[in-house]
């Protein structure tokens, strides 16, 4: 089976490399993208979208469907990591957790309670408490990191930022919480079920905004159809904000899901 998988991967990689021969040279000024698209975006983006950040205008408006599919790819990547890494194997042996240090002792002996007690007594002699300074500083920084992440998402139409960038920053704040305390501390506040729902909800928010525009009589992700509801001023930027929020939700949840499953080997019991 492994040999077959290797053959399939090599053939797929070979086909992809073969297809690159038809791509234009890097930086070629005579490509259609350089002659037509780039010029149009630069000259008309602000007039069409009322968004001064051309990158956001292109990603969330002109090619918004492509960005929606990128968000779906992020969700699928998180789902694939979850399916590959998550370990649902029932624990047949007995595990004892040393609460202060977080160390788990795997015991098979019938006299496991006595053995575990002796082991924990030895741990208590050498165990040092977590660094109070690190925990305190991280606890103070995390709210500011999360506020900045929300700012990056909300202000992506005027300055560098957006859903992908803000989602990464927000996800890193949760990872910092797990690193400064422990994985169990994070999972008590952000459950696995919540992360799964959040990652899927982000994609649904993006798609829902597009479908709502169709219900109002426009094309998919035609933000201007929201004008009768929210007003005509800056309406396309408002639509971009909605989809960027959806992107941020998915990216945040997928980052945390991947981290939790990698550091705990899919068991969600211990980690960094």
Could you report the per-residue pLDDT of 44-95, keeping only the tens digit for each? 888 888 888 888 888 888 989 999 999 999 999 999 888 888 887 765 555 5
How far is the C-alpha of 59 from the C-alpha of 65, rounded, in Å? 9
Between helix 235-263 and helix 192-215 the angle, nearest 10°, is 160
Indicate whether 119 belongs to any domain.
yes
How far is the C-alpha of 260 from the C-alpha of 255, rounded, in Å? 9
How far is the C-alpha of 255 from the C-alpha of 70, rounded, in Å? 15
The reply to whether 105 and 182 lie within a common domain is no
The reply to whether 73 and 114 lie within a common domain is no
Indicate whether 44 belongs to any domain.
no
The reply to whether 142 and 121 lie within a common domain is no
Indicate whether 257 belongs to any domain.
yes
Indicate whether 197 belongs to any domain.
yes
Which pLDDT value is given to residue 110?
A: 47
> What secondary structure letter does DSSP report for 123?
H
* Longest alpha-carbon distance in the chain: 78
Per-residue pLDDT of the chain (272 residues; tens, 9 = 90+): 778 889 999 999 999 999 888 888 887 888 877 888 888 888 888 888 888 888 888 888 898 999 999 999 999 999 988 888 888 776 555 555 545 555 555 555 544 444 444 555 555 455 555 678 888 899 999 999 999 999 999 988 788 888 999 999 999 999 999 988 888 888 888 998 999 999 999 999 999 999 999 999 989 999 988 988 888 888 888 899 999 999 999 999 999 999 999 888 888 776 65
The reply to whether 125 and 153 lie within a common domain is no
The reply to whether 111 and 231 lie within a common domain is no
Indicate whether 110 belongs to any domain.
yes
| Measured distance between the N- and C-terminal CA atoms of the chain, rounded to whole angstroms | 33
The reply to whether 191 and 115 lie within a common domain is no
The reply to whether 238 and 175 lie within a common domain is yes
How far is the C-alpha of 137 from the C-alpha of 134, rounded, in Å? 5
Number of domains in the chain: 2
Residue 245: which domain range?
Answer: 64-88+130-263
Enter the pTM of the model.
0.78
How far is the C-alpha of 203 from the C-alpha of 250, rounded, in Å? 7
The reply to whether 68 and 180 lie within a common domain is yes
Name the residue with tokens 């800056």. Answer: 234
Indicate whether 185 belongs to any domain.
yes
């Amino acid at each position: 089976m492994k040999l077959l998988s290797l053959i399939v991967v090599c053939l797929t990689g070979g086909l992809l490399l073969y297809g690159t021969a038809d791509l234009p040279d890097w930086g070629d000024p005579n490509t259609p993208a350089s002659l037509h698209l780039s010029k149009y975006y630069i000259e008309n983006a602000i007039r069409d979208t009322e968004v001064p950040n051309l990158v956001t205008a292109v990603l969330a408006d002109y090619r918004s469907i492509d960005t929606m599919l990128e968000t779906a790819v992020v969700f699928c990547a998180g789902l694939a990591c979850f399916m590959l890494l998550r370990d649902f194997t029932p624990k047949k042996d007995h595990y004892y957790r040393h609460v202060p240090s977080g160390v788990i002792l795997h015991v098979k002996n019938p006299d496991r309670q006595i053995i575990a007690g002796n082991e924990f007594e030895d741990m208590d002699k050498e165990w040092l408490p977590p660094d109070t300074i690190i925990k305190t500083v991280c606890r103070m920084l995390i709210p500011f990191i999360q506020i900045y992440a929300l700012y990056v998402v909300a202000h992506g139409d005027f300055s560098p930022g957006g859903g992908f960038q803000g989602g990464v920053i927000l996800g890193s704040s949760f990872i910092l919480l797990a690193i400064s305390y422990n994985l169990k501390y994070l999972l008590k506040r952000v459950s696995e079920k919540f992360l799964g729902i959040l990652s899927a909800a982000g994609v649904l928010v993006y798609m829902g905004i597009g479908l709502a525009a169709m219900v109002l009589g426009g094309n998919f992700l035609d933000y201007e159809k929201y004008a009768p509801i929210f007003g005509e001023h800056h309406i396309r930027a408002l639509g971009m904000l909605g989809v960027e929020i959806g992107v941020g939700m998915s990216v945040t949840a997928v980052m945390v899901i991947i981290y939790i499953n990698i550091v705990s080997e899919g068991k969600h019991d211990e980690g960094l």
